[in-house]
Structure 1
Amino acid sequence: MSTKCLVSCFFFFQSLLILGQTPEKISYQATIVNADNTLLSKTRIAMKIAILQNSLSGTSVYEEVHSPVTSSNGTVSLEIGGGSPIRGSFSEIVWSKGPYFIETSVDINGGSSYKLQGASQLLSVPYALHAKTAERIADDGNYVLKAKPISFTTSRNANTEDVGNIIECTADATLTIINNFVDMKIGDVINIEAHNGAKLIVETADQVELNYAKNGNAIFESTLENVRFGLLRKIDVNAYIISGQ
């Protein structure tokens, strides 16, 4: 019996959560359906997850297998980084050397005759993982931290130190992007994280655009033992794009 896997919308928009207690895992959810679009429910299947570097046909830097049981609505939930590794080490992936793509293969009979279901780009790099591997990145022979976590518990304006680093919000607070924030150049980024039930609001001044709306805002609201994350990127003098909220 042939099958197909509805992966991309569930993975990229619902399930990119770095677990607070086990930060080297990414939650992943997919819905498995048969070729006739009926749900494959309450069935033990086998899934192989591969992380490809640079392109859809790029080098596989990590592979693991899982044997989840689909729910009554055909859903499977698993943690990438928590399966049985068959290639590479998840903790050794250097996320700064992307882009990376997630490739999914499935055997609905629970064996090892995997059928490729597709691959999609990991659009939002897991920045908590990036920070963890950053200490291994060499610069002129010296190991340096490329993305420094900055504690954020009190509302304030964005400043020079934030650029290129990680806003690590552990209590409800607001980060404001002021008019003509010249310390952040076009193309520069700020990584955003809200931890363990904290809510981080990113807002802009009256004359500053966020996602093409003046005086816009974005909300990153985490749940207990989870992290919400995103990326703030400057695209013009007073214009920013934010993803992940």
Structure 2
Amino acid sequence: MKRIFTFLAALLVAGSVFAQSPQGMSYQAVIRNSTDELVTNQSIGMQISVLQGSADGTTVYTETQTPTTNTNGLVSIEIGNGTLVSGDFSSINWANGPYFIKTETDPEGGTNYTITGTSQLLSVPFALYSKTAETVTGGISETDPDFNASIAAAITEEDTARWNNMANDTNKIQDINLSGTDLSITDGATVDLSVLQDGTGTDSQILTLYNNKYLYISNGNSITLPYLIREADGDPENELQSISINGNTVSISNGGSIELPAETDPVYSSSVANDITTADTTNWNSKVDTLIAGTGIAISGDTIKSAVTTYSVGDFAQGGVVFYVDETGQHGLVCAKEDQSTGIRWHAGTYGSTQAKGDGPYAGEANTSIIIAAQVAIGDDGNTYAARICNELQITEGGKTYGDWYLPSMRELLLIAQNIEIINYRAWANGGSGLDVFPEYWSSTEWDTDQAVEVSFWWDGGGAFLEYKRHTNNVRAVRAF
């Protein structure tokens, strides 16, 4: 019996414009028959069940529907609006999860269900969950002892009315005015400032230096400044002097001089420094340093600037098209400008667990190495497969060859899906090809012994599914820089 991995979207469908809970959720799946062919433009039979607790848990609701697939094998239904078999969809308490959706399908349109799949409902539909508090009737009595003991418990309707009045911006802005000794504000009181005056009419005072010796202020005290005239030689104009050197003589202007003793340090006397002359020091001071541009810096005239290259999503660089950059703008991920295969298996011919479980950005590189090493032990029939074809890829762009390609992880493929339009445009502009929206692309993220994760670009932002490792999918290699 073949299982399908379905893409479940819990979309709320409002029944009216009132605050009522919708009683249904949207569900989509791609239908294939027992020979792995799409079932297109055909009425099919489906039985949908909501299981509580686990994938084999209690059935709380079951219904049947007979929808019709489209040209791509896609079927869309609304769970909760089918033919009731058991249970009541509107009475499901979504807080008592987890819940699982089990689908049973008859591609011939009957009730001989030959395709079965079960997947967990990872997020509760918000409107379905919130319907349990759609109305409140009757009075509400506050019993919280902390609230009853607080100041807030004494707030009345009159208090809130005053509070609302205080929110009026027009009564916050006022003018202040001084007229004589009267200080006032608009719509407020007036204060008389005359009591602060001492009656003299002025607070101004004069600072005076007398005879280069006494400093005093009017209507105040004075101090004596003897050092303005009592310095050593009685001449206040010779305090600032210049120092100079001539040969071994050091002198100051308007003063004396000293002779420097001869150098007696044997280490200095035997060194190159002993032969340095005054002319040498002049040439030394005139030397201009020469800077040479190198890794990370560039020089233009008198300007030194960073030569670090930054990248943006959509750039054609580093061997392919950039689809992710980190916060520095200097590092990220690129994908090849064309597919490496349009139909290749995931494993090397034998089912087995490789433990390649990484699913985030940059995880694909380690996954690829793990897969190739594990397949040797599990069983390799000698034919190529998704991880191996990426690992052995060599691409030359701009005269440089890049050989560190790998099979992308699930989330690396989803990052590509988010930027598929600019990636396809840049790939075509550089002689490559666009990413197909159908069929799917293999990721390096393993699910279990038999299945791995594939990503479809059919939906905006991409969709992740499970597929048997023997199935053939497209491959687009990526690399980190």
TM-score if structure 1 supplies the norm length? 0.50
The structure with the greater share of residues assigned to helix is 2
The structure with the greater share of residues assigned to strand is 1
User: Larger Rg: 1 or 2?
Assistant: 2
**Larger RCO: 1 or 2 (CA < 8 Å, sep 6+):** 1
TM-score if structure 2 supplies the norm length? 0.26
